[in-house]
Chain A
Amino acid sequence: MQAAIWLIILPLLTAFFIGISKVFYSYKLLFPLVTGSAILYLYLLISVIDHSYPPKVYSVGDWGLLGINIMVDPFSGLLLLMIALLFLPVIVFSLKYITFHTHNYFILTYIMTAGIAGMVLTADLFNLYVFLEVSSLSSCALVALKKTNKAIEGTFKYLVMSTLGSFFILLATILTYDLTGTLNMAEISVAFQDIPFQIKSILMAFFIFGYAIKIGLIPLHAWLPDSYEESPIPYNVLSSGLVMKSAVYALIRVLYILFGFDFLDETGMLQIGVVWGVVTFLIAHLLAFQQSNVIRLLAYSSIAQIAYITIGLFVGTERGLIGGNFHILNHAIMKGTLFFVIAIFHYSLTAVDIKDLKGLGFRFPLLSFTFVVASLAIVGLPPFNGFISKWLIVEAALDAGFIYAAFSILVGTFLSLTYYLKVIVTLYTKTDKTIEMKEPGLALKLPTIFLGSLCIVFGIAPSLPLSLIDKIPTFLLDHEEYISILLGG
């Protein structure tokens, strides 16, 4: 399992070396360094994902339970899979797309990825907080990269909100240590069984609040579209694909492992989570329809999709977890595709408003087709991947008795079609305007089409990712197994 630690170290080392190469070699070394590292990273990711079942523990510093442990299980394997699918395409895309503060962009992207990998792998509560901060702060930095007024404003809002969330996570973490005398998640979980209900509930509320801000559940979402609007678009791919998801991951880890399913059931958190999800996506869809800026539209759509994921994960059944996790993966792919296409449009003719997209369906037939596929997938229409995961979520919700949630998801599907269709229709509306445009090269098109084709592949053959995802609930619903492995390792 030495490879697992490399998942965190390698991006960090790369980031630091980019910093040095900037001073001594300017741009000469950037390309080989960045791509070489990304490819190596992909290899490492695959080898770790391969060994994610049965779960394995790696003890940093050989300290065992005295120090920090990192653990790979199918749930973290899924998140790693998402990194594997998104990271190299984003890097390849960015090499051509990012023309401003290039070095800083890559430094921060690599640091962010390291932070996300750390969050995903760690089995230590405080370490989780540290890596959360690594990823949020670098994420903030990427938002500010363009340095326009809007970018600065968005960054400030993002930073304020996200720091507010972090405070509560940190508070809960400290108090958890105070109560249990340890930071290892398994040990905390064992010790938590004797802690009174009231204390645990308040702590859980703090954890949930902190992570929910980073996830962007309504009404904690306001920073999200603001931070997306002026940030470099390839970053948005990672942001909606990985940053938000890593927060979801951390929340689920904390809730299911630390507090345990029974406690969630007892406090009614499952119900709250589902209702919260429903409210979130209904409002987010309505808001998305109002947007004239495609990126804001996609941001609101992200909020809505995260809400579906939340419902899946809070339904509290095996099917729900599978559906929610599959949707985590699918949303990363679909939203990644959409952002990529918009990024290309932005690159070619600086189009970000819906009205600017007029007629691009005829200029970029393949890319527009990819956009259509991804948007239909994200709406949840067959035969694309989003449909399968939504199907699983709805079925699980019905199964668990959340009939209103299941029904609302279908309503939400309809609502989401209203705005995606608006964009699509504009794409295929002819226009007389002749606009100067830059030709997007293969470096931009290839990652886009790769992700877009995944929308179809995972829709037709969902068993590919589901073979991994199917193993996730074992270690979440019944945390005993996870705990025993972590304690034993």
Chain B
Amino acid sequence: MKKKLLTFMLTLGLWVVFAGRMNIQVMMFGTIICSILSHLLANSVFRFVHLNGGPKQIVIKITYMFFVFSAFLYDVFLSAVKVSRQAFAWNPSFSPRIVKLKTSDENSSDIGIFAHFLTCTQGALALDFDPLHKNYVIHWIDVDSDAEAETRKALIRKQEHLVAKIFHSEG
């Protein structure tokens, strides 16, 4: 029921934004349509998301999310600057390598979301995911030494933990 409600809220929000207006007609249609949609889709969308916290926890989470999101945006720009510098460099040099990174996440939502973090930030690229061994296959664009790779990996693990914290409830 919670999932349905959440889906309903989200879709209704989308609907209102799309409609670009708030009036009785839009809300009426929106209610009908979004309830149908949430009825149909809720279970498949939020299959692995557990929503067992009170409203307070949700508020905290959302604040948390906002911070992470900002940091994420910042990271995106940072890595973009790195890459674009390479693009305009007179003599661009790369030291690419492909590594496997084991993840501790059990939740597929987290795995999916973390792939975004991997790809958008860090100069990394999520190439593949091996569901059997829970290995990300990652492509790094500028890693010179093994030591640097290890520090990077550590960084990634840290972030992974962070992501898991937001989306995966501890209960």
**Is there a contact between chains A and B in the complex with CB atoms less than 8 Å apart?**
no
**Hey, which bits of chain A sit against chain B, CB under 8 A?**
none
